[in-house]
Amino acid sequence: MVLSLSGTKMAHASGIRSIMEDIATSMRGASTGSLLNLSIGNPAPIPEVVGTWRRLFDETLDASFARASCLYGPSRGTDDLVAAIVEYFSGRYGWPLTPEHVVVGSGSQMLSFVASAVFTGPGAARDTKTVLPALPDYTGYQGVYLFPGGVAGIAPRIELCGDRRFRYHLDLDALRRSDDIGLLLLSSPSNPTGRCVSPQELDALLEIAADRDVPIFFDHAYGSPFPQIVETPEPPRWHENIINVFTVSKAGLPGERIGFAVGDPRFIEPMVSFVANSTLHAGQLAQQVTARALATGELDRLTAEVIRPYYAHKRRLGEKLLADILPADVNWRLHAGTSGGMFCWVWVDEPWFDDRALYSRAKEKGVFLVPGRPFFTGEVAPAGFGRHDGRCFRISLSADEPVLTQGLERIAAALTELRDAA
Amino acid sequence: MVLSLSGTKMAHASGIRSIMEDIATSMRGASTGSLLNLSIGNPAPIPEVVGTWRRLFDETLDASFARASCLYGPSRGTDDLVAAIVEYFSGRYGWPLTPEHVVVGSGSQMLSFVASAVFTGPGAARDTKTVLPALPDYTGYQGVYLFPGGVAGIAPRIELCGDRRFRYHLDLDALRRSDDIGLLLLSSPSNPTGRCVSPQELDALLEIAADRDVPIFFDHAYGSPFPQIVETPEPPRWHENIINVFTVSKAGLPGERIGFAVGDPRFIEPMVSFVANSTLHAGQLAQQVTARALATGELDRLTAEVIRPYYAHKRRLGEKLLADILPADVNWRLHAGTSGGMFCWVWVDEPWFDDRALYSRAKEKGVFLVPGRPFFTGEVAPAGFGRHDGRCFRISLSADEPVLTQGLERIAAALTELRDAA
Residue A114 lies in a domain: yes
pLDDT surpassing 80 at residue B386: no
Contact between chains at A273 and B11 (C-beta distance less than 8 A): yes
pLDDT tens digits for range B37-63 = 999 889 999 999 999 999 999 999 999
Q: What is the mean pLDDT of residues A26-49?
A: 86
Nearest CA in chain B to A268: B11
Task: Name which of A6, A255, A273 is nearest B146 (Cβ-Cβ).
Answer: A6
Give contacts of B269 with chain A, Cβ < 8 Å: 11
Nearest CA in chain B to A264: B1
pLDDT tens digits for range A293-324 = 999 999 999 999 999 999 999 999 999 999 99
Q: Both B25 and B54 in a single domain?
A: no
CA dist A132 and B344 (Å) reads 51
pLDDT tens digits for range A386-422 = 689 999 999 999 999 999 999 999 999 999 999 999 8
Check if A1 contacts B (Cβ < 8 Å).
yes
Q: Both A276 and A309 in a single domain?
A: no
pLDDT surpassing 90 at residue B19: no
Specify the range with the lowest mean pLDDT, choosing from A6-15, A77-86, A159-168.
A6-15
Contact between chains at A72 and B3 (C-beta distance less than 8 A): no
Among the candidates B296, B315, B341, a domain finishes at B296
CA dist A140 and A377 (Å) reads 9
DSSP H or E run through A130: strand A129-132
pLDDT tens digits for range A232-251 = 999 999 999 999 999 999 99
Task: Name which of A54, A71, A117 is nearest B255 (Cβ-Cβ).
Answer: A71
Q: What is the mean pLDDT of residues B321-335?
A: 97
Helix, strand, coil % in chain A, rounded to nearest 5:
45, 15, 35
Q: Both A69 and A140 in a single domain?
A: yes
Q: How far is the first Cα of chain A from the last one, in angstroms, to the nearest whole number? A: 46
Contact between chains at A118 and B284 (C-beta distance less than 8 A): no
Percent of chain B with pLDDT over 70: 97
pLDDT tens digits for range A109-120 = 999 999 999 999
pLDDT tens digits for range A169-225 = 999 999 999 999 999 999 999 999 999 999 999 999 999 999 999 999 999 999 999
Structure confidence at residue B31 as a pLDDT band (50, 70, 90): low
- SS3 (DSSP) at A132: strand
Q: Looking at residue A121, what is its pLDDT?
A: 94
Q: Where are the beta strands (DSSP E) in A18-109?
A: 36-37, 102-105
pLDDT surpassing 90 at residue A25: no
Name the burial class of residue B409, with classes exposed (0-12), middle (13-18) and buried (19+) by CB atoms within 10 angstroms of its CB.
middle
Q: Both A105 and A184 in a single domain?
A: yes
Q: Both B242 and B380 in a single domain?
A: no
Check which CATH number belongs to the domain holding B35 and give it: 3.90.1150.10
Task: Name which of A5, A106, A215 is nearest B124 (Cβ-Cβ).
Answer: A5
Among the candidates A245, A276, A296, a domain finishes at A296
Q: What is the mean pLDDT of residues A77-100?
A: 98
Q: Looking at residue B27, what is its pLDDT?
A: 78
Cβ within 8 Å of A, B 225-264: 249, 252-257
pLDDT surpassing 80 at residue A256: yes
Contact present, B22 and B35 (Cβ < 8 Å): no
pLDDT tens digits for range B58-116 = 999 999 999 999 999 999 999 999 999 999 999 999 999 999 999 999 999 999 999 99
Residue A53 lies in a domain: no
Residue A76 lies in a domain: yes
CA dist A305 and A309 (Å) reads 7
CA dist A120 and B200 (Å) reads 44
Rounded to 10 degrees, the C-alpha dihedral B206/B208/B210/B211 comes to 160
Nearest CA in chain B to A213: B1
Nearest CA in chain B to A147: B122
Strands A332-335 and A165-169: parallel
pLDDT tens digits for range B267-315 = 999 999 999 999 999 999 999 999 999 999 999 999 999 999 999 999 9
pLDDT surpassing 70 at residue A32: no
Q: Both A81 and A194 in a single domain?
A: yes
Most confident of A2-11, B385-394, B411-420: B411-420
Check which CATH number belongs to the domain holding B117 and give it: 3.40.640.10
Contact between chains at B42 and A213 (C-beta distance less than 8 A): no
pLDDT surpassing 70 at residue B204: yes
Contact between chains at A5 and B121 (C-beta distance less than 8 A): yes
Among the candidates A242, A276, A296, a domain finishes at A296
Task: Name which of A50, A257, A285 is nearest B279 (Cβ-Cβ).
Answer: A257
What's CA B329's distance to the chain center, in Å? Answer: 32
Q: Both A78 and A128 in a single domain?
A: yes
Compute the count of residue pairs across chains A and B with CB atoms less than 8 Å apart.
283
Q: Both B213 and B333 in a single domain?
A: no
Q: Looking at residue B21, what is its pLDDT?
A: 79
Residue A54 lies in a domain: no
Give contacts of A54 with chain B, Cβ < 8 Å: 61, 65-66
Cβ within 8 Å of A, B 125-164: 125, 127-128, 140, 142-144, 146
Q: Looking at residue A383, what is its pLDDT?
A: 65
Q: Both B27 and B148 in a single domain?
A: no
Which phi and psi (to 5°) does residue A307 adopt?
Answer: -70, -50
pLDDT tens digits for range A315-355 = 999 999 999 999 999 999 999 987 899 999 999 999 999 99
Contact between chains at A54 and B65 (C-beta distance less than 8 A): yes
Q: Both A94 and A226 in a single domain?
A: yes
Q: Both B350 and B248 in a single domain?
A: no
CA dist B383 and B375 (Å) reads 19
Domain that holds residue A24: 5-48+301-421
Of the candidates A312, A288, A296, which has an alpha carbon nearest to the alpha carbon of residue A68?
A288
Considering its fold, how many domains does chain B have in total? 2
Angle, vertex CA B143, rays to CA B141 and CA B146, nearest 5: 115
Give contacts of B280 with chain A, Cβ < 8 Å: 107, 109-110, 140, 257
pLDDT surpassing 80 at residue A380: no
Check if A55 contacts B (Cβ < 8 Å).
no
Structure confidence at residue B12 as a pLDDT band (50, 70, 90): confident
Contact between chains at A267 and B73 (C-beta distance less than 8 A): no
Structure confidence at residue B15 as a pLDDT band (50, 70, 90): low
Which residue(s) pair with A102 in the sheet?
A: A262
Contact between chains at A1 and B69 (C-beta distance less than 8 A): no
pLDDT tens digits for range B211-264 = 999 999 999 999 999 999 999 999 999 999 999 999 999 999 999 999 999 999
Check if B106 contacts A (Cβ < 8 Å).
yes
Q: Both A247 and A309 in a single domain?
A: no
Q: How far is the first Cα of chain B from the last one, in angstroms, to the nearest whole number? A: 46
- Please say whether the dihedral angle defined by the alpha carbons of residues B206, B245, A145 and A387, taken in this order, is positive or negative: negative
Which phi and psi (to 5°) does residue B150 adopt?
Answer: -80, 10
Structure confidence at residue A15 as a pLDDT band (50, 70, 90): low
What angle in degrees, to the nearest 10, is found between the helix axes of B79-93 and B284-295?
30
